Amino acid sequence: MTPPSPAALQARFAAVRRATERLTATLSAEDQVVQSMPEASPTKWHLAHTTWFYEAFILAPHRGGYRVFHQDFGYLFNSYYEAAGPRHPRPRRGMLTRPSLAEIHGYRRYVDEHLAVLVAEADEATWQTVAPLIELGLHHEQQHQELILTDILHAFAQNPLAPAAFPLVEAPPIVAPCDLGWYGFDGGLRRIGYDGGGFAYDNEGPAHLVHIEPFRLASRLITCGEFLAFIVDGGYREPRLWLADGWAAVEAQGWEAPLYWRRRQGEWWQMTLAGMLPLDRQAPVCHVGYYEADAFARWAGRRLPLEAEWEVAARTVACQGNFADAGVYRPLAAPTTGLSQMYGDAWEWTASAYLAYPGYRPPAGAIGEYNGKFMCNQFVLRGGSCATAADHIRPTYRNFFYPAQRWQFSGIRLAEDA
Amino acid sequence: MTPPSPAALQARFAAVRRATERLTATLSAEDQVVQSMPEASPTKWHLAHTTWFYEAFILAPHRGGYRVFHQDFGYLFNSYYEAAGPRHPRPRRGMLTRPSLAEIHGYRRYVDEHLAVLVAEADEATWQTVAPLIELGLHHEQQHQELILTDILHAFAQNPLAPAAFPLVEAPPIVAPCDLGWYGFDGGLRRIGYDGGGFAYDNEGPAHLVHIEPFRLASRLITCGEFLAFIVDGGYREPRLWLADGWAAVEAQGWEAPLYWRRRQGEWWQMTLAGMLPLDRQAPVCHVGYYEADAFARWAGRRLPLEAEWEVAARTVACQGNFADAGVYRPLAAPTTGLSQMYGDAWEWTASAYLAYPGYRPPAGAIGEYNGKFMCNQFVLRGGSCATAADHIRPTYRNFFYPAQRWQFSGIRLAEDA
Amino acid sequence: MTPPSPAALQARFAAVRRATERLTATLSAEDQVVQSMPEASPTKWHLAHTTWFYEAFILAPHRGGYRVFHQDFGYLFNSYYEAAGPRHPRPRRGMLTRPSLAEIHGYRRYVDEHLAVLVAEADEATWQTVAPLIELGLHHEQQHQELILTDILHAFAQNPLAPAAFPLVEAPPIVAPCDLGWYGFDGGLRRIGYDGGGFAYDNEGPAHLVHIEPFRLASRLITCGEFLAFIVDGGYREPRLWLADGWAAVEAQGWEAPLYWRRRQGEWWQMTLAGMLPLDRQAPVCHVGYYEADAFARWAGRRLPLEAEWEVAARTVACQGNFADAGVYRPLAAPTTGLSQMYGDAWEWTASAYLAYPGYRPPAGAIGEYNGKFMCNQFVLRGGSCATAADHIRPTYRNFFYPAQRWQFSGIRLAEDA
Amino acid sequence: MTPPSPAALQARFAAVRRATERLTATLSAEDQVVQSMPEASPTKWHLAHTTWFYEAFILAPHRGGYRVFHQDFGYLFNSYYEAAGPRHPRPRRGMLTRPSLAEIHGYRRYVDEHLAVLVAEADEATWQTVAPLIELGLHHEQQHQELILTDILHAFAQNPLAPAAFPLVEAPPIVAPCDLGWYGFDGGLRRIGYDGGGFAYDNEGPAHLVHIEPFRLASRLITCGEFLAFIVDGGYREPRLWLADGWAAVEAQGWEAPLYWRRRQGEWWQMTLAGMLPLDRQAPVCHVGYYEADAFARWAGRRLPLEAEWEVAARTVACQGNFADAGVYRPLAAPTTGLSQMYGDAWEWTASAYLAYPGYRPPAGAIGEYNGKFMCNQFVLRGGSCATAADHIRPTYRNFFYPAQRWQFSGIRLAEDA
């Protein structure tokens, strides 16, 4: 892959970095220090960790004479790279009231400046090495932009005051609700996975052949109104609708609705990044885990799509949708009756376990830990969400979460055998 | 599928029932009441549960006027069938000192007698319904025969006296250790899964096409000696060899060796059904979980086979091996240099998550809970073990356990891309 | 203290040993192996542990040439004596299906025989040393007789079949229920604690002066009917009646009634050693913890007695009551309107923490661990119960349990300031 | 008790409120939001809770027409008063990034102003009611001043950067280390507890007679150097030195030293409010729990004092010492060889369980929950610490913590029988 020009990449670097900071502009220093559960991280930590990524994997090895900003930041802001040394235990990231947010911003500027100089001065050979790492760092930072949003939503949802992280952006008016339609696809041997032509994570390849059966895919995401029907029908109380592990989670966690739904005086509300809002029945349901998506599909007499099916279908539509760039930060009702919402709005749980594609080899070194070591116990989600940067997503993109996890913008699209 | 004749099935029924009881003949009533962990069950419970299966799914619905042996046994001995009503909590099965073992044996006789009458008197239509359920019940009981062995081994391994459940059966002499060889297989479109011609569980079908890449499979299982080299090389101390969840398990559980290995005064021993034995370096390693199998493969520069690969290879050899029928109850060194040990000795962890085959539909009713609701978070194992009945196994058989589970006779066969 | 004669002590030894075995005669080997919670032990373990006590503390040190019955039994049957070496972890006592019950009985006979010889042959100096240890061993065994009863009741209460450990012994007919009366006692300086004249545990001394205020003591134990009034009045739902730790226990454990009360179709039942019986409203409530006793007292506008108060009052009545010797094994309604039930029926929670008396020094060696190291976090109970041997109890006897523990025969007697 | 004049109490009110804010002046908003364990609270929460106390118990009931500052603050900042309504779960106090620190300061000003008006305008009858509540509120706030210090120390100790909350104040030079001396006291009947003449908590009374035996008390607190000798002698590895519950804590928590001691390259350091400092061997050991204090005393052949003994001794010296007012915030070496350090430096664990004095009745209403409901499972500490306000302590003051808790400035003074 030919790397982009230094100027182009530097421009994109600046844009991504600014976007991250813009995302945190309405949050106080107090907001940015808190960790609401071990899986979530403080905003401040995300700001530092994405910065450390450039420092540890680009500046330190590839910029002669570079001095790290602070000797302890490698320990504090390494996430999970065993090859990069020991690190602060994940569940204790919320203990870091120091360094202050202001110091973290200083860290960002320091690394930005040094990276700009490295880009400007890199000779051809260095550029061949460094440009792909910067590219990776930018996609890495975009992933953390999404996590900043999902993590602060989780934190604010723990607060009885239900604060809004962002001002409310009204949804565009809906002419009429879109009925659920079905799109058929042929079976046969299909090639899926990343095949060159732009950035992709290692786990999206190698491209390879998969035999699929004929199938149909729902035209849009399942709405809150449809999911409410599942609840009203006793969906959360009937073990026969659930996987055994799913039912165990329902009982252990006391689940009765998606993560951020709240019932008050008989009315349903949903906690969002704009605070507590009345439930929008036309909007896609999100913050459901795989267990709920699977149970809903069983109740509906359908199933979840395989990731190969999803990818085959997704290649037939443009990669457009309700992304973080719109600043709405919640899923919106489907605008058309066509095959819609394949990208954006809510990640779509697939029925595929997150495993290596045939022939997959992680890259050498610490970067090899980026994706490969998580290929166990998780399910693949596809298509991005209202919290994903528009230029971060693509048809081959494989996101992955544990089946009980619900704090991402994760929703449901149904499939069925043709 | 044409059902077998009543006489043939009754003979097989009697044989399987006797085999179960023979398996427990050396165990005292005290041995048979204990539950050593929530995943394991008391021997006595297995004796009763396998009996309840016939009572609940065959006698009660299909034998007019049948009176259950004891009104509370449905509650006590239902394992996990939500459709069959509430049940005694799994972790408390070891509290059931009553009913006594003698009463359970009475329960077995009672159900055996009633089932014999049902078989003898069944008209043609009843037989069409009942025969497949009896067949299922027999395979179900054979699965529990294996669990009786693995569960009592686990229980005895908690006892500092390390008692032997069975007398030691010496291994046949080995002429020479078999080097690890490799067998190549072509890629392409292959049909896998159950395609008729005998009994199979629902989860083995439908037969379907899978595209596989060319691959090589190791000629035999990994030995204890080979696994010891992994340990000596620091395998349990190097996080980069492990899946992230695997490493978390290593640290949380303090794993340093397979489940039943013990180090005493510098020598390695292994707890077996014949008590504590010196580690046999030529014998296959077993009682490793998926995490360990995967880490070993990574350390060896190989990988685990996909279940489709395994099945393609397994169809090239006879379904023979060191099964429970031999009464050895531990894996033995490979006898030949050919593609060996595909069946028996130790279950082989595959790299495939336990998920539904395309088009899979569980049967209606409680029986539909047999396999389908577990299709999540587990990995497929293939080939049976030294604790499996010889006539219980077949090339399409899909066993499944969680990746951290180690108390089954589960071992390692390596694969690699061709 | 002058030791008893060898013949007298040997007779008592034989009697206590036989009493233990008689207590277990109706229990099967299966019953005797199970451990229903970490605090409880299998019957079989009690049989072995009480035997080990004589072996470890008397035969091994004081009988020349004594060979232990089994080299591993010290490890298996040491309860908590750090000075006596490492031991099998307490929560895993239920894993010991071997040694069998028959072997444990053999162990008992072996030790009994050797002890008889030691007693018969002891010279005067040996006798001075050994007799107090035998005496201690007998009281130790009597404590375990009570634990055998409370532990098997707990185990059987986990069984949905609610088996009876003993045949039901009917309560004597009650002429009329006894109203709750009050007995006044003067304040002033009082001497409490063991002051010589028979056996006592180390923790009952030294005798010492305590200043008490004038007080009144209830004439009898609180009945199930009175406790039911507390329940009906919302006692388990009103946090203001409870100590903070008690309320936390109510919420965490979901307490709604004493440990063995069950509500079925609107009627209250109680699990007993004779199986499930209708609640006897005249009988004393038992199987309540300190938290419940304290909350009940607060609800009743009274308080629990201090142990000094209890002892002062107890010295005014004879040490008689409904003990284990009666074979009833459950508390019975108070027979008279006088100060009754001070001994037997149910242990009485006091408001005194279990702490050392002034000048207390534990004995040297392992025996010093018998009582002293538990002087923390527990409360004193006084007076014995229906599961206590009649000749085991005395006015100075200090029993102690954690405030949340409920599986003993522990009940409530109220006090108030005069 | 005659209440102080409005002017005097208002002056004291202003002083205490200012002192609290001064204590937090060096902490950032980020520092003040974090909760490092369920037992500790964020600084910001302390600032709000102490304010809510005046609002809930004084302004709301006693100032006509008072409007609460924020309708949700009662829910957020009620600590444990069941009678004052439901409240935010304690372990989640660290989730409250909103209200902001600035809003909490606004809350403080609002309540201060309204209280000043209430004081100024109170008629005689109101003043009789309100003045004791203000007095209680001030002592309550002083307790939280100490908790602000101990909680922020705990939080900063979780931070690998070991930040300093306050600048280091050097210890005064020591002429010579003070040897440990012993002071004898007679036995007999002594009156202890609060007997009028100033403010006291309800749990300090009623004054009552206690009989004590003759005893000797150590002249000063145990030093870090003396405690180090215990460590070096294997104190944390010898179960026979510990209470059973204490040893269980040592094993479960992996204790090897007091809470904030750290060993680095063979040298001992201690985390303090001035950051990480080399261990001062002359200074009193602190941040030990009751279990450690008790084990140390046993190792030293002594015991801990009873609270009655302590109080008898404490009445012989002036109530002076190294308190929070000095701004040192760590214990200092004893300055003299007399009976010293009875007040200040470190709280002294006593051998007395925290229980009601004879005749104790908690006040009516929510205020009655202040002390009474904690009379279980805790031990009494006496004398105040370097984090206690000088005018907050007195000879009868009973502090109480669980025996495993170590994050307070809690130390050791030895006693022995005379």
**Sheet of C267-272, strands arranged across:** C261-264, C267-272, C275-278
Residue C353 near residue C375, CB atoms below 8 Å: no
Q: Which of A36, A75, A97 lies closest to D34 in CB terms?
A: A97
Instruction: Tokens for C296, please give them.
Output: 């009940």
Chain A partners (3+ C-beta pairs within 8 A): B, D
Q: Is the dihedral of CA B366, B371, B372, B378 positive or negative?
A: positive
CB contact under 8 Å between C417 and D212, yes or no, is no
The DSSP H or E segment spanning B103 is: helix B101-121
Chain D partners (3+ C-beta pairs within 8 A): A, C
- Name the stretches of chain C with pLDDT < 70: 1
Instruction: Tokens for D276, please give them.
Output: 């990480």
Residue D146 near residue D154, CB atoms below 8 Å: no
pLDDT digits (tens, 9 = 90+) for B273-322: 999 999 999 999 999 999 999 999 999 999 999 999 999 999 999 999 99
* Chain D positions in Cβ-Cβ contact with residue A96 (cut-off 8 Å): 159
* Chain A positions in Cβ-Cβ contact with residue B376 (cut-off 8 Å): 243-246, 290-291, 294, 403
CB contact under 8 Å between A34 and D33, yes or no, is yes
> Taking Cα atoms as reference points, which of B180, B202, B208, B204 lies closest to residue B194?
B204
As a whole number, mean pLDDT of residues B158-169 equals 97
Q: Is the pLDDT of residue D174 over 90?
A: no
Q: Is the pLDDT of residue A169 over 70?
A: yes
pLDDT at D34: 97
CA distances to A13, B144, B320, B386, D144 from B391, in Å = 63, 14, 10, 13, 73
In chain A, which residue's Cα lies nearest the Cα of D99? A161
Chain C partners (3+ C-beta pairs within 8 A): B, D
Instruction: Tokens for C94, please give them.
Output: 């239920």
* Chain A positions in Cβ-Cβ contact with residue D38 (cut-off 8 Å): none
As a whole number, mean pLDDT of residues D134-140 equals 98
CB contacts < 8 A (A, D)? 80
As a whole number, mean pLDDT of residues D98-126 equals 97
* Chain A positions in Cβ-Cβ contact with residue D159 (cut-off 8 Å): 95-98
Residue with tokens 């908790």, as numbered in its chain: D147
Instruction: Tokens for B299, please give them.
Output: 């350390």
How many whole angstroms separate alpha carbon D239 and alpha carbon D235?
8
pLDDT cut 90: percent of chain A above it: 94
CB contact under 8 Å between B158 and C76, yes or no, is no
Q: How far is C389 from chain D (nearest CA, A)?
A: 27
**Sheet of D415-417, strands arranged across:** D182-185, D215-218, D415-417
**What phi and psi values does residue A400 have, to the nearest 5 degrees?**
-155, 140
CB contact under 8 Å between C211 and D209, yes or no, is yes
Residue C99 near residue B31, CB atoms below 8 Å: no
Q: How far is B243 from chain A (nearest CA, A)?
A: 4
* Chain B positions in Cβ-Cβ contact with residue C30 (cut-off 8 Å): 29-30, 32-33, 97-98, 100-101
pLDDT digits (tens, 9 = 90+) for A216-269: 999 999 999 999 999 999 999 999 999 999 999 999 999 999 999 999 999 999
pLDDT digits (tens, 9 = 90+) for A52-82: 999 999 999 999 999 999 999 999 999 999 9
CB contact under 8 Å between A34 and D92, yes or no, is no
pLDDT digits (tens, 9 = 90+) for B223-270: 999 999 999 999 999 999 999 999 999 999 999 999 999 999 999 999
* Chain C positions in Cβ-Cβ contact with residue B161 (cut-off 8 Å): 72, 76, 98-99
CB contacts < 8 A (A, B)? 82
Grade residue D1 by pLDDT with cuts at 50, 70 and 90: low
Q: How far is D234 from chain C (nearest CA, A)?
A: 15
How many whole angstroms separate alpha carbon C44 and alpha carbon C148?
9
CA distances to A2, D1, D123 from D62, in Å = 77, 20, 11
How many whole angstroms separate alpha carbon A17 and alpha carbon B348?
48
Instruction: Tokens for D348, please give them.
Output: 């002294």
Instruction: Tokens for B78, please give them.
Output: 């239902």
Q: Is the pLDDT of residue B11 over 90?
A: yes
As a whole number, mean pLDDT of residues A173-183 equals 85
pLDDT at B177: 76
Q: For testing the chain A interface, which of D37, D77, D95 should be mutated: the one with the most A CBs within 10 Å?
A: D95
Chain B partners (3+ C-beta pairs within 8 A): A, C
CB contacts < 8 A (B, C)? 81
Q: Which of B240, B356, B376 lies closest to A82 in CB terms?
A: B240
D and A touch per CB criterion (3+ pairs under 8 A) = yes
* Chain C positions in Cβ-Cβ contact with residue D186 (cut-off 8 Å): none
Amino acid identity, position A89: P
pLDDT at B25: 97
pLDDT at B174: 75
DSSP state of C372: G
Q: Is the pLDDT of residue B171 over 90?
A: no
Those residues of chain C whose CB sits closer than 8 Å to some CB in chain D are 80, 82-83, 189, 208-213, 239-240, 242-247, 290-291, 294, 306, 351-353, 355-356, 358-359, 369, 373-377, 403, 417
Q: What is the 3-state secondary structure (H, E, C) of chain A?
A: CCCCCHHHHHHHHHHHHHHHHHHCCCCCHHHHHCCCCCCCCCHHHHHHHHHHHHHHHHHHHHCCCCCCCCCCHHHHHCCCCHHHCCCCCHHHHHHCCCCCHHHHHHHHHHHHHHHHHHHHHCCHHHHHHHHHHHHHHHHHHHHHHHHHHHHHHHHHHCCCCCCCCCCCCCCCCCCCCCCCCEEEECCEEEEECCCCCCCCCHHHCCCEEEEECCEEEECCCCEHHHHHHHHHCCHHHCHHHCCHHHHHHHHHHCCCCCCCEEEECCEEEEEECCEEEECCCCCECCCCCHHHHHHHHHHCCCECCCHHHHHHHHCCCCCCEECHHHCCCCCCCCCCCCCCCCEECCEEEEEEECCCCCCCCCCCCHHHHCCHHHCCCCEEEECCCCCCCHHHCCCCCCEEECCCCCCCCEECCCEEEC
Q: How far is C247 from chain B (nearest CA, A)?
A: 27
pLDDT at C1: 61
DSSP state of B259: T
Q: Is the pLDDT of residue A1 over 70?
A: no
pLDDT at B68: 98
Q: Which of C75, C92, C97 lies closest to B30 in CB terms?
A: C97
CA distances to A154, A156, A260, B20 from A149, in Å = 9, 11, 14, 57
> Taking Cα atoms as reference points, which of B382, B404, B411, B379 lies closest to residue B287?
B411
CB contact under 8 Å between D242 and C373, yes or no, is yes
pLDDT at C2: 79
Q: How far is C209 from chain D (nearest CA, A)?
A: 7
CA distances to B272, C354, C400, D356 from C351, in Å = 53, 10, 11, 9
How many whole angstroms separate alpha carbon D122 and alpha carbon D116?
10
Q: Which of C80, C82, C209 lies closest to D211 in CB terms?
A: C209
CB contact under 8 Å between D161 and A99, yes or no, is yes
CB contact under 8 Å between B97 and C28, yes or no, is yes
DSSP string spanning C233-249? TTGGG-GGGS-HHHHHH
CB contact under 8 Å between A159 and D95, yes or no, is yes
CA distances to C249, C291, D39 from C239, in Å = 11, 12, 20
Q: How far is B274 from chain C (nearest CA, A)?
A: 15
The beta-strand segments (E) located in B311-377 are: 321-322, 343-344, 347-353
